[in-house]
Amino acid sequence: MKIALISPSKDNLHHMTLTLQAAAHTVVEVEGGKRRMRGIAEQEQPNLMIVEGMCCDASELDHIEHVTTHFPNIAVILLCATTSPDFLLSAMRAGVREVLPSPVEAGVLLAAVGRVAAKLAATQQGPGTGKVLAFMPCKGGSGATFLATNFGYQLAESKNVLLIDLNLQFGDALSFVHDGKPPVTIADVARDIRRLDASFLGASAVRAAPNYSILAAPEDPAQAMEVKPEHVDAILKIAGAQYDFVLLDLPRTLDPVSIKALDRAYRIFPVIQASLPHLRNAARLIGVFRSLDYPADKVELIVNRFEKNGEIGLDAIRRSLGTHSMHTVPNSYKDVSTSINHGNALIQIAKSNAVARNLAEFALAMSPRQNETRGVFERLFKRA
């Protein structure tokens, strides 16, 4: 890792350089103070800057904030002889990763640099292998959030899953499988996007099950405006490298944030019910997907609360919407309502329920286990 050391003390620079070079780091020594930060960031572009001698005046943190804002890939550690709680808080807000005592002991320094290196490795793995699956309702009440949250719960029995609630104004995905309020939401992550790394993302999500986490929508609808497309893009890049599956619970509206999320999706699941209003909206939505140049196999319809003897069957849906793959979910109003009202996953309260079994098979089709792949996959998709 390339590290820039900035300090007014030649002795401290020398000792830190020897310590870091012994640990195989590349070191750039800079004798001076905080005013050298901007030039070093531009010229050297280090992975980490360790800065000593600027811990008395919070206004000095402007230099750090400039670096963390304009060079988000550069981490900053401060070395301070004395600090106050207010200064520490201001430093963290400016984007400082850690504040260490000065002069710093070799073991303490190496431990802090190791933590930064681990976070850097996690965020620079390149494109992640995790699949992004987007669930989008075609009409209010279609059941998209129930399906997304419960599908995620089923997937998490064998995979590491993150669900992101992108219904930013009125999202309540967490309440479908968890009875607590989120201490952090996606708006908080967006507000502090400079800190974003794998550990920050993981700490911001609520653990709904051992392998299942949910990044909640804002509690206050007004905070929805704080989440920008570039925030979603950054979050999905980190999430894709850390989770096997990233599920997106999207609203009906198509805006820049939703489109950015859909662009990154491996598969989009428009959720409909077998009624004319749902079919009309689904046709419009599929038309938008075509205009966005999404390939046809990126879109797979989910027909929720489907009844084989209903007025509108699968043939009529195909005639209306084309030959997209379809997955049907049976109607089980009573158990599903109980699940939603209690804030528990359906499999927890009715494991043998037809919908629970259906979602288990759907999860298995998306994440096949050894020797169980072909039959389930063909049964779910080729029949449609």
In sequence order, what are the residues at sequence separation of 6 or more whose Cβ sits closer than 8 angstroms to the Cβ of residue 122?
197, 198, 199, 238, 241, 242
**DSSP assignment of 145-186:** HHHHHHHHHHHTTTS-EEEEE--TTT--GGGGT--S--SSBH
Categorize the per-residue pLDDT at 247 as very low, low, confident or very high, splitting at 50, 70 and 90.
very high
Q: Which of 273, 245, 275 is CA-nearest to residue 329?
A: 273
- The predicted pLDDT at position 169 comes to 94
Q: Of residues 86 and 52, which shows the higher confidence score?
A: 52
d(CA 172, CA 182): 11
Within the chain, all domains assigned CATH 3.40.50.2300 are found at 2-123
CATH superfamily of 131-382: P-loop containing nucleotide triphosphate hydrolases (3.40.50.300)
Q: Has residue 382 got a pLDDT over 60?
A: no
- 265-275 pLDDT per residue, tens: 999 999 999 99
In one letter, which amino acid is 355? V
d(CA 349, CA 353): 9
- The predicted pLDDT at position 58 comes to 62
- 136-189 pLDDT per residue, tens: 999 999 999 999 999 999 999 999 999 999 999 999 999 999 988 999 999 999
- The predicted pLDDT at position 72 comes to 78
213 near 244, Cβ under 8 Å? no
- The predicted pLDDT at position 152 comes to 97
Q: Has residue 55 got a pLDDT over 80?
A: no
- The predicted pLDDT at position 261 comes to 95
By residue count, the chain amounts to 384
Element (H, E) at 134: strand 131-137
User: Stretch 241-253: mean pLDDT, rounded?
Assistant: 95
Peptide bond connecting 277 to the previous residue in cis, omega within 30 degrees of 0: no
pTM of the predicted model, to two decimals?
0.66
- The predicted pLDDT at position 236 comes to 95
Q: Has residue 41 got a pLDDT over 50?
A: yes
Within the chain, all domains assigned CATH 3.40.50.300 are found at 131-382
235 near 189, Cβ under 8 Å? yes
Q: Tokens 């230099």 map to which residue?
A: 63
User: Stretch 200-226: mean pLDDT, rounded?
Assistant: 94
279 near 320, Cβ under 8 Å? yes
As given in the structure block, the two tokens for residue 26 are 């590349």
Q: For domain 2-123, is the CATH number 3.40.50.2300?
A: yes
Angle at 238 between CA 236 and CA 240, to 5 degrees: 65
- The predicted pLDDT at position 54 comes to 63
d(CA 90, CA 284): 49
